[in-house]
Amino acid sequence: MIDSLKGNKALLRKKNPFKKDRSFLNGDRMDFKQSRKKITKAPISKEALAQVRQKTVLERKKHFRQTLLLTVVAMPIIVLVVFFAFRDFSFVFPGSRFDEPKPTPSELLAQKKDKYLFYLKDGDNWLQKKKFHNAIFQYRKATELFPSEYGAQYRLALAYSYQCQYLLEGCEEGKKVITNLKTQFPGDPAVDELSLILN
């Protein structure tokens, strides 16, 4: 039952809100007598079939050529329109940090110093909590920013010495840092004390 209802629904005319089908009013145009006659089933010749086939093939080729020509003409135009429309488009909102001008070298140096001081302060906090791995990590970050600074190098050596003293780890790395400190800052008594701890 449901299938027959679906079939009936499929057979109904499609309702188009823009164009009404008014074929039922064309009764006078139709030849009523002709519609009652039976359709004669005359055999179609091979030549007629070949002509129909040739006509459909030509129509397909014509349609393909038109589509290809439209694509070849339209695609570059669309690409150019999109390119010129979005050439100066920015995905950044006004007033964001991407719209700001590039920082000057003095501003970059100030930012670098701020990071350096943050790493030192954070490393000191970790060292007070006896979290030596975290302190070493922060001091290494500070030494990457300013490799020749005494404060970061000394604190790194101090963290390694504490790690070696309390956890028995990182003694070799600490010795390397201390030898580096001795070459950069010879005769420093604090470095000599650290070397005594690691030996």
- Residue 161 in contact with residue 174, Cβ under 8 Å? yes
State the pLDDT at residue 184.
Answer: 84
Has residue 29 got a pLDDT over 70? no
Instruction: With cut-offs at 50, 70 and 90, classify the pLDDT of residue 186.
Output: confident
Residues 37-81 pLDDT 10s: 566 677 888 898 899 999 999 999 999 999 999 999 999 999 999
The separation between CA 169 and the C-alpha centre of its own chain, rounded to angstroms, equals 42
Angle between helices 150-167 and 171-184 (to 10 degrees): 150
Tell me the pTM: 0.49
What pLDDT score does 178 carry?
Answer: 86
pLDDT value at residue 68: 95
Kindly list the distances between the CA atom of residue 19 and the CA atoms of 11, 15, 27, 195, in Å, as whole numbers in the listed order: 19, 9, 19, 96
Fold of 105-198: 1.25.40
Cβ pair 122, 138 in contact under 8 A:
yes
* DSSP for 80-143, written as a single string: HHHHHHHTT--SSPTTSTTSSPPPPHHHHHHHHHHHHHHHHHHHHHHHHTT-HHHHHHHHHHHH
Give me the residue spans of the domains in the chain.
Answer: 48-89, 105-198
Q: Which of 20-24, 68-72, 156-160 has the highest mean pLDDT?
A: 68-72
